[in-house]
Amino acid sequence: MTDKLRSAPIGQRVTVRFRLEDGSATDAVGPLTERDEETLVVETRRRGAVRIRFDTVIAARIIPG
């Protein structure tokens, strides 16, 4: 599932479900704005830029458009 995120073009809209430090899960929806070997950044409406470690990703979807 992280392969999709590693190959998605910067600017592509995505949905990412990931684990928080307390073990709960949350979603980030918005354009992919940054990516490196360990993390990606999704620009959300509510929380702004959210940096997500690939090893915390539970599910991911590329939003067509």
Domain ranges of the chain: 2-62
Within the chain, where are the H helices? 2-7
CA 57/CA 28 separation, integer angstroms = 11
**pLDDT per position as a tens digit, 10-62:** 999 999 999 999 999 999 999 999 999 999 999 999 999 999 999 999 999 99
**pLDDT per position as a tens digit, 8-18:** 999 999 999 99
Q: Which amino acid is at 62?
A: I
CA 23/CA 32 separation, integer angstroms = 23
Task: Classify domain 2-62 at the CATH topology level.
Answer: SH3 type barrels. (2.30.30)
Please, what's the b/e burial string for 12-26 (b: 16 or more CB within 10 A of its CB; e: otherwise)? bbbebbbeeeeeeee
CA 59/CA 61 separation, integer angstroms = 7
